[in-house]
Structure 1
Amino acid sequence: MRSSTAITALAVGASTVAAAATKRAVQTVSVKGNAFFAGNDRFYIRGVDYQPGGSSDVADPIADADSCKRDIAEFQKLGLNTIRVYTVDNTADHDECMNALADAGIYLVLDVNTPKYSLNRADPNPSYNDVYLQSVFATVDAFAKYDNTLAFFSANEVINDAKTSSVAPYVKAVTRDIRQYINNRGYRIIPVGYSAADVSENRLEMAEYMNCGTDDERSDFFAFNDYSWCDPSSFTTSGWDQKVKNFTGYGLPLFLSEYGCNTNQRKFEEVSALYNTEMTGVYSGGLVYEYSQEPNKYGLVEISGNSVTELDDFTALQSAFKNTPNPSGDGGYNQTGGASGCPAYNPPNWDVQDDSLPAIPQGAVKYMSSGAGQGPGLSGAGSQNAGGASSGTATAGSGQPTRTGTSGGTNTASGSATSSGAASTLKVSHELALAPFVCAAVVLVSSVFGAALL
């Protein structure tokens, strides 16, 4: 009986080792001051938004390994290092695509919401419930294991005009909850932030708000969608010079989560500004909208069945990237980082009186210690008004980790902000450190079952 148990244990151990060995080792990206870094090198996001089918055909593009690999070839032609995906199925297997992306040196910025599991800007409190957070946390579980998961978006354009700023505390609460969950589950620190609409009345206020308050409440980065540069234009004509001025001194990494105005023929002249030192002291690159041609005509390629046709915009972006190298050195980033002051109450443009946040719904507290479990996927019933909502106001510091997780990560940090921003420096991949143990396990298993296993 003992011998049988030992063999079973070795077999289970071997399968675990084999699974770990299939994970591609890429250098994780960290936050230092107001910038991203890969090791000691400044990391600028050069990416595209990737959701073939768009909002009319909600599907998970990185669960389709064949299509993913087909498109990676196009990403490499463009010289990309990042893609953004808006919707995934948190029950699907993403290993093959994520590993292929890692092999190509491409990272993922992922929205954790889906059309059925998201905040309702018109009535946010009922939608901020335990059923919603279970889906969000399950998505984090599904992607935290990949070293090329660069960041999570807690929400996208929930505030889409001056009148909807009152929903900001719920966006910030979700961001807080995800950061706490990552720490509690023992995952490496993965940056969490918000993708904002470019609303002139409260763009700066939202950025300040996501970076003010106690350390556990602050975001790890801020991003916004910007279509104000329409070729032919310039750094000053587009108003980008004023945005750089307004965000100078901001303590978090800032990047464009969507850009690429298509009012006129796109030449992507803004690329030469975005990766120039006139902007890199404040911005860390951006994501072009979008990869595939959809009804709104922002596509770089046309997808028909299994074939991909490169459009004129593809060639224009390819040329713009090729002709615009990253600045040498650190790009003049703000090494100190640090918190912002909370914006002043100024309705209707900024209808948030202070930094009081809703408490995490009581039904979701258990996920912090037990994990979220199986997610609902894209076929779930949805979360709007489905669960127990928040019933009070959080106390300052309540988003700090409540335990040290052990679910496969190496992070044991408290989650507190350092002088370099809300996110502590991310740890470099630990795959190489596991190599001796992997070899020892394989040798031990082969001695029991014979060399045929190898």
Structure 2
Amino acid sequence: MIAYLHLWLPRLLTLTLLLLNLARSQNLDTIETYGSKFFFSDNGTQFFIRGVIYQQVPSDDEQGSVATNLARASADDLYVDPLSDAASCQRDVPYLQRLQTNVVRTYGIDPSKNHSQCLEEFANAGIYVLVDLPAPGLTIGNKNPVWNDALYDRYTQVIDAMHNFTNLLGFVVGDNVVQGIGQDDAGPYIKAAVRDLKAYIRQKEYRAIPVGYVSDIIQGNSNVIDPVSKDAWQYLNCGNPNETIDFFGGNAVSFCKGSSYPSSGYKNATGELSNYSIPTFLAGYGCSNGHERSFDEIKAIYSRTMTSVWSGGIIYEYFKQGPDPGYGLVSVAGSEVSILSNFADVSTNMAFVTPTGTSSASYQPSNTAASCPEAGATQLPPNPRAAVVSAGISSTPSTPSTPSSPSATGSSQLPQPATGGLSTGAKAGIGVGVVVLILLLAAILFVLYKRKMAKAKRKDGTKNGDQWNKNELAADSVDREARGYNHMAASSPRAEMEGAMLDREVAADRPIVEAPGDSGIRTEMPTKRASVSAPTEISQ
């Protein structure tokens, strides 16, 4: 085995380096839900979202929001997958970091494409990804809703494509499609999708990835809570936990220049959701009038008053869309990025927010899901693939598990690859790498030890006058010399032999015995070397 060790050492070293690189690329802790809050799963620190919508529409001629354009599109329409273009992700990461972004939300991705490079770029920058499951022409609509094979396949394909990334925050099953909770409304179809997708995740033995829903919470620019959306968020959070959403995102575009916490409707929305039993955040915020945007609401969103209920928010949006200059934080053309006026507004306001929360170990959830409204007691649509995932659906409501106790507490910060806590997978990778390195060092020491012992044995043989009988000459020495080995090195066995013989001649006053110079006998065994290569308080 020792003879082949020099062949395996470089391979073992390469494997070790690959494992260590994998550990470094997987060092973002996953995010989990517990009660009405998000937490880092490793250290139990509360997680607050500082996000932006990260999605482009195919053309600047499109009008309205990106989500609206995608929902209206047909299945044949093209859309931009923002997580499959590594060059664009690399281009945008420095700007996202200047905005203190730790979450990007995408409205549509292509599950057949490779997303690993973008997700790695974001992970290295401490950025998580929130992924919407629908696509143009493949979504549960608010009119004539269905939950069928095509939708099931689309949604599960996205789950399969994204589940293994540790910086995946969660999936959005629908955006503002529930206009009612009766039999002919979209509510039961969204709930059926949540049921089947959560069962699919369990059946595939993926980690417990949160599945949630997004809808408007305030009517236009008023301070009035949207009653339809209120019914939706209550209905999707009631009943069997295997059928309920894991988080709720609210769209709010009512905070414009001159607005305040009460006048924008933020105060009313916070009150309405104060007893909600799952995490809530603003899934799309920014004044609906692009010319009236100042993003002063950022200070309110991350104040202690709102963070007691909300887990941060996501800005609509990163890319400039359409002719209205008020929307978007940057304008891009190929590899060039131009900063717009809103970029400075967001950056300035974000610099003043330092949300503080609790730790999962000291947090005791007190909110409970409300009972389902009578109007929502209709039977849910069946699972399109019941035969495939029926084993994953439990008839008994599951009990959410408590996250692991934290090793550190305090305010939530952007996860930093160089200093943040490592995920379980990262620690395992590093552990394996360390074990392999130890084995490598042990093997090298063993080889060196054997050589030292062999050299000592040769010296002992010389002192005993047995220099002609000891086995110094390798059996294949002639072949080795023919292959060009340098046996005349000063440190070679022959040089040592001649020196020892000369000393003995002088001591014994007898002639020197020489081997014929053309004997062809090589007196050296070539040495083999193993190559190792402070939060703002706001008025009520």
TM range (shorter): 0.7 to 0.9
1:429 corresponds to: 424
> Using a 3 Å threshold, how does the CA distance of structure 1 residues 193 and 328 change in structure 2: closer, same or farther?
closer
Q: Letter of the aligned partner of 1:188 in structure 2? A: R
Q: CA deviation at 1:52?
A: 2.4
Match of 2:349 among 297, 315, 320: 320
Which runs of structure 2 are paired with 1:300-311 in the superposition (5 Å)? 300-311=329-340
Unaligned runs of 5+ in 2: 1-7, 58-65, 71-77, 220-225, 407-421, 444-528, 534-540
Q: Structure 1: which amino acid aligns with 2:382? A: A
Map 1:229-378 to 2 at 5 A.
229-263=255-289, 264-295=291-322, 297-327=326-356, 329=358, 335-345=365-375, 353-354=376-377, 356-362=379-385, 365-366=387-388
Residues 210-254 of structure 1 deviation map (CA, whole Å, 9 limit, x = unaligned): 111112112111112111212220011112111111111110101
CA contact (8 A) 2:20 2:430 kept: no
1:46 paired with 2:41, answer no
Q: Which amino acid aligns with 1:168?
A: G
Q: Is the 8 A contact 2:238 2:372 kept in 1?
A: yes
Equivalent-residue separation in structure 2 for 1:235 and 1:242 (angstroms): 9
Q: Which runs of 5+ in 1 are unaligned?
A: 1-6, 346-352, 370-397, 402-413
What is the TM-score of this pair, normalised by structure 2? 0.65
Report the CA distance between 1:328 and its aligned residue.
5.5
Residue 317 of structure 1, CA deviation: 0.5
- SS of structure 1 residue aligned to 2:369: coil
Q: Percent of pairs identical after alignment?
A: 30
Normalised by the length of structure 1, the TM-score is: 0.77
Measured at CA, do residues 275 and 355 of structure 1 come closer, stay the same or move farther in structure 2, by a change above 3 Å?
farther
Q: Secondary structure at the match of 1:101?
A: helix
Report if aligned partners of 1:84, 1:108 keep a CA contact under 8 Å in 2.
Answer: yes
Alignment match, 2:135 = 114
Q: What is the CA–CA distance in structure 2 between the aligned matches of 1:360 and 1:445, rounded to whole Å?
A: 53
> 1: CA distance between counterparts of 2:287 and 2:246?
27
- For residues 344 and 80 of structure 1, do their structure 2 counterparts lie closer, same or farther at Cα, with a shift above 3 Å needed? same
Partner in structure 1 of residue 91 of structure 2 = 70
> CA offsets per residue over residues 288-329 of structure 1, 9 Å max, x none?
000000015421111122111111101001111111221365
Q: 1: CA distance between counterparts of 2:530 and 2:115?
A: 31
SS at match of 2:227: coil
Q: How does 1:87-236 map to 2 (within 5 A)?
A: 87-125=108-146, 128-159=147-178, 166-198=185-217, 200-236=226-262
Give the CA RMSD over aligned residues: 3.6
Task: Check whether the contact 1:249–1:334 (CA below 8 A) recurs between aligned residues.
Answer: no
Q: 1: distance between equivalents of 2:364 and 2:258?
A: 31
Q: How many residues align?
A: 392
CA contact (8 A) 2:300 2:306 kept: yes
Rounded Cα–Cα distance in structure 2 between residues aligned with 1:452 and 1:123: 68
Structure with the bigger RCO (C-alpha within 8 Å, sep 6+) is: 1
Distance 2:22 2:47 in 1: 26
CA pair 195-429 structure 1, distance change in 2 beyond 3 A: farther
The aligned residue for residue 106 of structure 2 is: 85
Question: Deviation at 1:112?
Answer: 1.1
Shift of 1:265: 2.9
Is the counterpart of residue 28 in structure 1 residue 22 in structure 2? no
Q: 1:355 to 1:434 in 2, by over 3 A?
A: farther
| Distance in 1 (alpha carbons) for counterparts of 2:532 and 2:161 | 29
8 Å contact kept, 2:203–2:389: no
The CA deviation at 1:338 is 2.8
Distance (Å, rounded) in 1 between the aligned partners of 2:394 and 2:389 = 14
Tell me by how many angstroms 1:368 deviates.
7.2
Q: Name 1:416's counterpart in structure 2.
A: 398
Name which one, 1 or 2, has greater alpha-carbon Rg.
2
Work out whether residues 159 and 165 of structure 1, in 8 Å CA contact, stay in contact via their aligned partners in 2. Answer: no
